[in-house]
Structures are given as C-alpha cells and as structure tokens.
Amino acid sequence: MDTVISPTLCLIRLNDVTSTNDEARRYAALGVNDGTLIWADSQSKGRGRQGRTWTSPPGNLYMSLLLRPDVPPADALQIGFVASLAIAEAVDAVAPSGTTVQVKWPNDVLVNGKKVCGMLLESSMKSDGSAVDWLIIGMGVNIKVAPDDTPYPATTLENEGVSGLTVGDLLIRAINRFEEWRGRWTAEGFGPVREAWLARAAGLGKPIEVRLPDDALKGTFRGLDDAGALMLETPDGTRQITMGDVFPADDDAEAG
Ligand code: BTN
C-alpha cells in the first residue's frame, strides 16, 4: 500500500527485501514519480559503498528515496549532501545534549565520532546523456544494531543515549529535514547546503587519509568544490577527490 507522507513524497513500506535500493531501481524502471520512498524493516542483501555489505537486521532504518532531479548530471550528487545533512539534523534533534553529531565525506553521519548512518547513491542518465533520469539515495541508520567489524567504527543511536526513538519517528524527522533542505537547494543552489554541511564536517582543516580501492592519499581536508568533491591539500597541490573513504590520519585521532 502506498502512503502519501508529505505533499511531495509517497511512501512504500515493505517487510523484508534484498535491498531497498534494489526495490527503488525496480520502481524507477516502472516509471514512478520523483519522491517515491521505499522503507523496509530488514534487508537480506543490504549493500554498502564500494561493494561492501550493509548489515540489516530489524530495528534500524533502511530506506531509499527515488528522485528525478531536474538538474545537469554534474550537479545531481549534491543531493547526497542534502540527505546527509537532513539525517544529521534529525539525529541531533533527538540526541541527548552534549552529543556530537557530524557528517563525514561523502555522506556518512557520525555520532560521538562513530558511524551511525551510511548512504549509497545510484543513478541513471537519460538515453541522450543530457540529464539525470533517476537518482536513488539509499540510507541506513543504526538505531538498535551496529556491526562490530567495519573499517570505520560503528555505533547505534541507542548506544549513544537516544532512547524511545522508533524507526518511523526517525524516518519522519529525516524526511522533514530533507524536504526543507531540498527546497533550499532547488531555490538557492548548493551554497547554503555546502555551508551547513561543512559546519558539521568531521576532519575539516585537519589531516586525513582518503582510502581508494588501490591507494591511499594523505593531506589536509580543505572543503568541498562546487560538485561536492573533497578538496585535499597535499604537498603536490590541492586535489579534488570524487570517491573514497575518509579516515583521520594516523597522527590525528580527532579528525574522524
Ligand atoms: C555505506 O556507508 O557503505 C553505505 C550504506 C548504505 C546502506 C543503505 S540501507 C538502505 C539502502 N539499501 C541498501 O542496500 N543500501 C542502502
């Protein structure tokens, strides 16, 4: 059963799926509108970035938002920053005072320095390559359960002192923040989103290591460019990084 949860979003709630991103791709192929949100209780084949798996037992939030943003392909990934900012603000609103809620490039959310949320963005271009046909933002938030074997340390909202938060409450809070920030992004461009995202960014101005599939780069995290690439200052100049995982450099455990 589809439910309209806001003027611009339609929710499809499912029990167990392989991956909400798989479901969203299926709906995209059927031609559904911008603003279709797939929410599942659990996933048997949850997918993370760079081919990793995403542990997905019941108790956490697993959702994928299908969008058809009317922007050039180069701007489409900016919306991942809209989404991570929205989740961070939703988490901040329910966390005990004194909790540190940060974003980590590209689209993770950290609570007290540990990861609670990851995002998997997938997209498809129109056949002439001129514009985005669909973009899926898959979001996983650890409320009750977190893996203990991840490259970046993970935690749950419950471990960090958030009690009594249902999965549905968090979904509604996150979607409300997303809609507000998406509206600003549409009206004003990437500038305000980038500014708010950087105000919460882990490691900004600090030494970081960016791990790529076959390499690792070290430098100082200097911000985001117009497309959302990470600007890494290295001894050879500033590099724009478009993929990878960010870790604090060995000598700076605070950067994460
Ligand atoms: C990462 O940090 O590696 C990204 C994790 C993304 C997980 C979410 S859970 C909902 C959606 N469905 C998936 O299979 N993956 C994303």
Closest residue by CA, ligand 1 atom 9: 140
| Per-residue DSSP letter, 218 | E
| Angstrom distance (rounded) from CA 224 to CA 80 | 13
User: For residue 187, is pLDDT > 90?
Assistant: yes
- What would the pLDDT profile of 55-66 be if each residue is shown by its tens digit? 999 999 999 999
Q: Between helices 78-94 and 190-199, what is the axis angle to 10°? A: 50
Q: Is the pTM of this model over 0.85?
A: yes
Taken in order 83, 45, 146, 218, is the CA torsion positive or negative? negative
Percent of the chain whose predicted confidence (pLDDT) is above 70: 96
Ligand 1 center to 41 CA (angstroms): 13
Give the binding-site residues of ligand 1, using a 6 Å CB cut-off: 19-21, 43, 46-49, 52, 54, 62, 64, 108, 118-120, 138-140
CB 78 within 8 A of CB 122: no
Answer whether the bond into residue 151 is a cis peptide, omega within 30°. no
How far does the centroid of ligand 1 lie from the alpha carbon of residue 34, in Å? 20
